[in-house]
């Protein structure tokens, strides 16, 4: 995989896959521009190299249909303001109008094309669609780590039809930060895995047992592990089909000398509601019709103690329903512990990214990934198709 810095870009048409899948309000105002900000180092570099810059991205899930509220036009406008430079926009990503606009680009000009997913061919990795996108450029750069686990046309298809391809700064930084944490970590290495489903993180849990010294499991997924010990978890969410699998992971951790931590108490409620009655109970005493929505205070203290002496921390998934402030305490305790640890911390995008922001400790984390799914793919020990395609 070549770095963008290894390529001669002067005067060349450079097609850059970014991720501008941005949260917007009902008036199409961008509510979080972090993904645009993350692309700026590469864009500034391409401007300095006097390249002709063509940006492509997806937005939402329009399923191959044109949905005006998922247009990338607001992203072009916002990027223009951030750069203090005009960013052209074309309301298509293929076709003659796009080709004509690209041919008119001067060195250091920037063009953003319309939402790739307005075409079904993007998700289908259609070779004709890939080839048409590739025909727009001399060089292809992937700087969209967050979607590099997907076999889509703009991720794995385009490099097949372009003579020169490379990785952008964000993609390189994401891979380096993760591999520094896993392949050459300062010990002890502590992995914190939370969220809802064991099934979505089963591969990551099994793979992490080959690397970590301590494995902390929280969130709703911990319920399945507690059930594997025969505990009655009330109305808490459980994946019954994976109870035996969870017990197998517990046993494997013991065999490999990995210290595994599970909740000892929970914050439970009668229903999933911000105004519902809640209380703290031992994991042995969950009321029949109540559900666990957060780890309890004693669990928080145990988890924080396990994190305190870490040399490296990898965290993916919250400890509870952190979006509701009443059930954020457990995630807050863990976030504070990670922030105050001397260990190198790598936070795995998505919900965990939002969690550390709501917990007001994002600035104390060493690295926050831009991609949840791609980060999880790395945790599973898998190659990212978007990275393999650049080889």
Which residues are known to be catalytic? 35, 197, 350, 373
> Which burial class, exposed, middle or buried, applies to 82 when counting CB atoms under 10 A from its CB (0-12, 13-18, 19+)?
middle
Closest Cα to residue 19, out of 144, 139, 158? 144
β-pairing, 52-56 with 13-17?
Answer: parallel
Whether the CB-CB separation of 120 and 81 falls below 8 Å is answered with no
In this structure, what token pair is assigned to residue 14?
Answer: 């450079």
β-pairing, 139-142 with 164-167?
Answer: parallel
The alpha-helical segments, DSSP class H, found in the chain are 34-48, 73-83, 96-103, 120-123, 127-134, 169-182, 202-208, 221-228, 243-255, 297-308, 329-340, 351-358, 372-379, 385-388
Rounded Cα–Cα distance for residues 384 and 149 (Å): 5
For every residue of 281-324, DSSP letters joined together read: EETT---TT-EEEEE-HHHHHHHHHHHHT-SEEEEES-SS-TTS
Whether the CB-CB separation of 87 and 80 falls below 8 Å is answered with yes
In this structure, what token pair is assigned to residue 172?
Answer: 């390189």
Q: Which helix (H) or strand (E) holds 52?
A: strand 52-56
> Which burial class, exposed, middle or buried, applies to 8 when counting CB atoms under 10 A from its CB (0-12, 13-18, 19+)?
exposed
Q: Tell me the torsion sign for CA atoms 254, 260, 265, 267.
A: negative
Rounded Cα–Cα distance for residues 288 and 359 (Å): 31
Rounded Cα–Cα distance for residues 19 and 117 (Å): 12
Rounded Cα–Cα distance for residues 341 and 346 (Å): 12
DSSP secondary structure code for residue 113 in this structure: E
In this structure, what token pair is assigned to residue 35?
Answer: 């993904």
Rounded Cα–Cα distance for residues 15 and 120 (Å): 20
């Amino acid at each position: 995989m070549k770095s963008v810095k290894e390529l001669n870009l002067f005067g060349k048409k450079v097609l850059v896959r970014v991720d501008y899948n941005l949260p917007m309000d009902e008036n199409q105002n961008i509510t979080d521009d972090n993904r645009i900000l993350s692309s700026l180092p590469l864009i500034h570099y391409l401007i300095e190299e006097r390249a002709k810059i063509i940006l492509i991205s997806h937005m939402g899930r329009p399923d191959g249909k044109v949905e005006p509220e998922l247009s990338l036009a607001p992203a072009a406008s916002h990027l223009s303001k951030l750069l203090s430079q005009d960013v052209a926009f074309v309301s298509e990503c293929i076709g003659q109008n796009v080709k004509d606009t690209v041919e008119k680009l001067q060195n250091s000009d920037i063009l953003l094309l319309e939402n790739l997913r307005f075409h079904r061919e993007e998700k289908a990795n259609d070779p004709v669609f890939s080839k048409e996108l590739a025909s727009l450029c001399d060089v292809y750069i992937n700087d969209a780590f967050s979607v590099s686990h997907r076999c889509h046309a703009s991720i794995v298809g385009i490099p097949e039809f372009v003579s020169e391809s490379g990785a952008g700064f964000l993609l390189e930084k994401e891979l380096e930060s993760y591999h520094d944490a896993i392949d050459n970590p300062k010990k002890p290495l502590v992995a914190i895995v939370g969220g809802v489903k064991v099934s979505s993180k089963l591969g990551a849990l099994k793979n992490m047992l080959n690397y970590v010294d301590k494995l902390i499991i929280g969130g709703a997924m911990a319920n399945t592990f507690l059930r594997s010990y025969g505990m009655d978890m009330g109305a808490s969410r459980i994946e019954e089909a994976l109870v035996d699998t969870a017990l197998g992971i517990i046993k494997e951790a013991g065999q490999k000398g990995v210290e595994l931590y599970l909740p000892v108490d929970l914050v439970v409620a009668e229903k999933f509601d911000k105004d519902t009655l809640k209380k703290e109970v031992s994991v042995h005493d969950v009321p029949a019709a109540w559900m666990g929505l957060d780890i309890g205070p004693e669990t928080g203290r145990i988890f924080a103690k396990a994190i305190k002496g870490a040399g490296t921390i990898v965290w993916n998934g919250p400890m509870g329903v952190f979006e509701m402030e009443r059930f954020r305490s457990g995630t807050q305790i863990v976030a504070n512990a990670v922030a105050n640890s001397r260990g190198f911390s790598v936070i795995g995008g998505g919900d965990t990214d939002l969690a550390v922001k709501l917990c007001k400790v994002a600035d104390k984390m060493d690295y926050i990934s831009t991609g949840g799914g791609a980060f999880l793919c790395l945790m599973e020990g898998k190659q990212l198709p978007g990275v393999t395609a650049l080889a």
